[in-house]
Amino acid sequence: MAIIIDENTKAVVQGITGYQGSFHTERMLSYGTKIVAGVTPGKAGMEVHGVPVFNTVRDAVEETNANASVIFVPAAFAADAVFEAVDAGIKTVVCITEGIPVHDELKMYWKVKDNDVTLIGPNCPGIISPNKSHLGIMPPQIFMEGNVGIVSRSGTLTYQIAYNLTKLGIGQSTVLGIGGDRIIGSDFIDILEKFEKDKETDLVVLIGEIGGTDEEKAAEFIKDMSKPVVGYIAGITAPPGKRMGHAGAIIEGRMGTAESKIKALNEVGVEVGKTPMEVAEIVKRVLKA
């Protein structure tokens, strides 16, 4: 199983002829991901790493029956790209693009919501179901197939923790970054719901950071989950009012502190590791128990 993407995922790359799009298409293909089409307006007929390019997502879907999309277009065109994918019938959209205006992100959110589409991101590293499919910009070699799901607001921190797990011989069912922006398509709960239902996942690692109240809301949900969750929260030392890289990583007033999130998670029985290494060790211990 795994969640959201697997060996049946057939993806379109939107913005395939750009530098990022082309570079990561090659990487995804070499991992074995089924990239069946690319889209760049005006470039129909081209091929990028053997993948046929179409003018519109609609054309791409008609020709290839693609069911997912990865978006690499520049920020100014990203919302349009998401809308296009949704209206072409794509059911899983992974938006890598960062720097999208937040009012555009609000529209993206409601567009996918209205159409029962899963949007991962924007401003995210993507998603990988090890040995099955990889849609995004992650370093696939550090992951290993297994029974731990990882959902994270951060990219490199996810890699670090997955790497630690892999080193301990603990594989992953699906690993994904939900994105560092304030408005994202899928939040922790959306993903936790899927992991809870996934037969291949026995434990979930939740990697949060300061800003917003998603981790607190996730804790509410975790209370009723049957599977154990292990947490990590970055930003204990972040000062209020300053954005820590991610648009969403900001403490506003008394909202969004690491303390509040760790407390909420602890209260529903989630052990929160103090360091990425400790997270992996907790996972190991919990899995054994």
Partner 1 sequence: MKLHEYQAKQIFAQNGIKIPKGKLAKSVEEVETIVKEFGKAVLKSQVLVGGRGKAGGIKLVNSVDEAVEKAKELFGKEIKGHLVEKIYVEEQLDIDREMYVGFTLDRANKGIAAIVSSVGGMNIEEIAAKHPDKIARKTINPKWGLWDYQVRELLYESNMPKEYFKEVFGIIKKLYNVMIKYEAELTEINPLIVTKDGEVIAADARLNVDDNALYRHKDLAELKDYTEVDQLERIAEQKGLNYVKLDGNIGVIANGAGMSMATMDLIYLENGKPANFLDIGGGASAELVKEAMSIILQDKNVKVIFINIFGGITRCDQVAEGLIKALSEMEVGIPIVLRLAGTNEEEGRNMIKEFLKQTKEEIALVETMEEGAKKAVELGCKNGDNN
CB of 133 to partner 1, least distance (A): 18
* Rounded-to-integer distance, Cα 95 and Cα 176, Å: 12
Residue 241 in tokens:
């009012």
The residue annotated as part of the active site, out of 24, 103, 134, 246, is 246
Residues 251, 107, 13, CA angle at the centre, nearest 5°? 100
Question: Does 103 qualify as catalytic in the annotation?
Answer: no
Between β-strands 10-14 and 34-39, what pairing exists: parallel, antiparallel or unpaired? parallel
CB of 226 to partner 1, least distance (A): 26
What's the length of the chain? Answer: 289
* Rounded-to-integer distance, Cα 39 and Cα 114, Å: 24
Peptide bond into 139 cis (omega under 30): no
**Exposure string over 250-273, b if 16+ CB within 10 A, otherwise e:** bbeeeebbbebbbebbeebebbbb
Catalytic center residues: 246
